[in-house]
Structure 1
Amino acid sequence: MWSPDASMDQLYRAFELKREQSRTEWAEHAKAHMKKRLADSLAVTMEEQDDLRPVLLDRVELEDHVRERIEIGTFWGFRVPVYVLLPKGDSHKRAAVLALHGHGYGSRQIVGLNADGSELEGEWDLHGNYALELVRRGFVVVVPEILGFGDRRLEEDRKEGQVGNSSCQTLASHFMLYGMSIAGVRVHEAMRVLDYLVTREEVDASRIGCFGFSGGGLLAAYTAILDDRVQASVLCAFTNTFKRSIMGVRHCIDNYLPGALEFAELPELIGLLAPRPLFIASGKGDPIFPVDGVEAAVSYLERAYGLAGANEKLGVHLYDGVHEVNGSQAYPWLVEALKR
């Protein structure tokens, strides 16, 4: 009798109708308006950015690539450790990929390392070490440690024995008091990583892609929407609707944007990437980004890319699997999308 379920459903529908009415009123400027609202939702308060001041922390020669770890500045005094994977071979400028990890033990989880920094041996986990897969396909790959994970957790969350936990809840709650979201802070840091990436002499700055898994998919999507330097994007185990994913299944607080439903459902936001190349990958058995929500989002994106005259630039792979990376189609697609 007093359960809020029905009222919450009515609230969702009321905002859906509000968005439909608004789009009728500003149809000619819909994309620009939506992008502006997204930028406002992700805004962070900073007087000025810190200088990058890159510092080389480590450099390891491996069989088929070089792995560097660099430290750069972003803003508010934050310093970010970033893995840079460099293919071996000739010295021509290469396409590059910003690889954004999901929930787990951080950037080491996708570059071929264990949580303690030792070389990974044996089977890979659900992340599939996609940064390693990408460098082996000829990309320069840059992998930042996302705020709240790995070495960038709060001290309280880095106690001995705690490996895969995060500081998302605490950081997000604190940023909320400042009128900001943790997603916004992470997106702006990702753009600072792009600022560093384009300074590398090995990189062709006109051929930059983004590959994100799960929470990294969120960052990849929003970073690419706001930063036109990203020419092609792969979103793995993320694309869905708000209604079916983060409103239908318990998720980490870092997935939620202030006021998002006032101006867009998730497929509409992702559709802002059109006509730039976009690849959607998702497991049919993913319990936290359910396949029916993926299909609804893809249906919208197909229409959006059709209207942009860019049907051929949208790729989709729904694979047999759960919440995991399967790059069997995404990797070659990205190679093709960023070829010279």
Structure 2
Amino acid sequence: MAISEERLRALLKVPNVALLLRGSKTEERSGYRVEYLNFVNCSNEPVRGILTRPLSMDSPGAALVYAHAHGGRYDIGASELTEGRPELLNPLGPVLANLGFVTLAIDMPTFGERATQSESAAAKAAFWYGQTLFGKMLGEQAAAITYLSSRSDVDVARVGMFGMSMGSTLTYWLAAIEPRLAAIAHLCCFADFATLVETGAHDRHGFYLSVPGLLAETSTGEIGGLVAPRPQLICVGEADPLTPPVAVDRALAQARAAYGEKRAARALEFFRQSGVGHEETTEMREVLTRFLKTHLQPGS
């Protein structure tokens, strides 16, 4: 029997988090608008948010929570949305705005403007207090959904999520416990963790992803399956050391079984590209764009 959403939330130790907006400024760029948002969380920590949206919107539209990647680049954080990173073809914020999306990225703990503490220090402190760093990240991403849903330019029925690498894991794990996400898409981090441990590939991941007792009760494939029957797009590179094929296949089989049980097999889309490592490709971008337009921008 698959793990329940409630038990998964308890294992991850996801706190109830609020992001309170304390200030903002707006900048118009070529064809889109950027909003720089200053939040504080429940611990009164400043949290930077960067939002992109079309210059004009006639009615509330689709929105995305954008979970930034890791890549050892603690300096990037939310600015990935507008400035990009080496693993991406180009920044997705302008692209998504041109597609009609309101998209929000926030700095995760130890990244961007919150890179004042090391990831290992933050993870250890969380463990010592009976929490997890990953749970804190998920709680803040859930608060980002709440903020987006409060905006007059957002249709609450069409809020989705996207992420690559660390952002990928944040995306499908949050969707597993967060029913407000209507559809999700993620790149380059879907693999069976137990298989990664068997092969030693798990040590390529950061401290943030350590969740005590997780594999004794569930698997990443089961977690991905909890998203069913909502649409989910998974993209991986066959040569990516973080997602070796045997680990991907095991996780995918479990997720597909869960979607099959919900009679939603077609809602789970999978794209694997040979000869590709830990990076986005033109083909992935095409698949991603089509998926988002189909499931969050119908008729566009």
TM-score (normalizing by structure 2): 0.89
User: For structure 1, which segment, 206-215 or 68-77, has the greater mean C-alpha deviation from structure 2 after superposition?
Assistant: 68-77
Conserved 8 A contact 2:97-2:103: yes
Alignment of 1:110 onto 2:81: yes
Compared CA separation, residues 150 and 53, structure 1 to 2 (3 A): closer
CA distance in structure 2 between the partners assigned to 1:310 and 1:39 by the alignment: 24
Q: Tell me which residue corresponds to 2:230.
A: 276
Compared CA separation, residues 83 and 289, structure 1 to 2 (3 A): same
- Which secondary structure does the structure 2 equivalent of 1:84 belong to? strand
Q: Which amino acid aligns with 1:76?
A: S
Structure 1 residue 79: Cα displacement: 2.3
Structure 1 residue 259: Cα displacement: 1.1
Q: Determine what percentage of the aligned residue pairs are the same residue.
A: 25
Q: Which amino acid aligns with 2:78?
A: S
Runs of 5+ unmatched residues, structure 1: 1-22, 24-29, 114-123, 158-166
CA distance in structure 2 between the partners assigned to 1:54 and 1:200 by the alignment: 15
Compared CA separation, residues 45 and 126, structure 1 to 2 (3 A): closer
Conserved 8 A contact 1:66-1:85: yes
Q: Tell me which residue corresponds to 1:331.
A: 289
Q: Tell me which residue corresponds to 2:4.
A: 34
CA distance in structure 1 between the partners assigned to 2:114 and 2:221 by the alignment: 30
Q: Tell me which residue corresponds to 1:14.
A: none
Deviations 1:57-87 (A, max 9, x none): x321111110111012221112211111011
CA distance in structure 2 between the partners assigned to 1:309 and 1:302 by the alignment: 10
Compared CA separation, residues 246 and 206, structure 1 to 2 (3 A): farther
CA distance in structure 1 between the partners assigned to 2:15 and 2:156 by the alignment: 28
Q: Which amino acid aligns with 1:254?
A: Y
CA distance in structure 2 between the partners assigned to 1:254 and 1:228 by the alignment: 23
Structure 1 residue 153: Cα displacement: 1.0
Cα RMSD (Å): 1.9
Q: Tell me which residue corresponds to 1:234.
A: 185
Conserved 8 A contact 2:225-2:257: no
Q: Which has the larger radius of gyration?
A: 1
CA distance in structure 2 between the partners assigned to 1:169 and 1:101 by the alignment: 18
Q: Tell me which residue corresponds to 1:313.
A: 267
Q: Tell me which residue corresponds to 1:126.
A: 87
Structure 1 residue 45: Cα displacement: 5.9
Q: Tell me which residue corresponds to 2:35.
A: 68
Structure 1 residue 136: Cα displacement: 2.4
Q: Tell me which residue corresponds to 1:322.
A: 277
- Which secondary structure does the structure 2 equivalent of 1:234 belong to? strand
Q: Tell me which residue corresponds to 1:186.
A: 137
CA distance in structure 1 between the partners assigned to 2:78 and 2:9 by the alignment: 26
User: Which of 274, 285, 299 is matched with 2:239 structurally?
Assistant: 285
Runs of 5+ unmatched residues, structure 2: none
Conserved 8 A contact 1:95-1:338: yes
Alignment of 1:150 onto 2:108: no
Alignment of 1:203 onto 2:154: yes
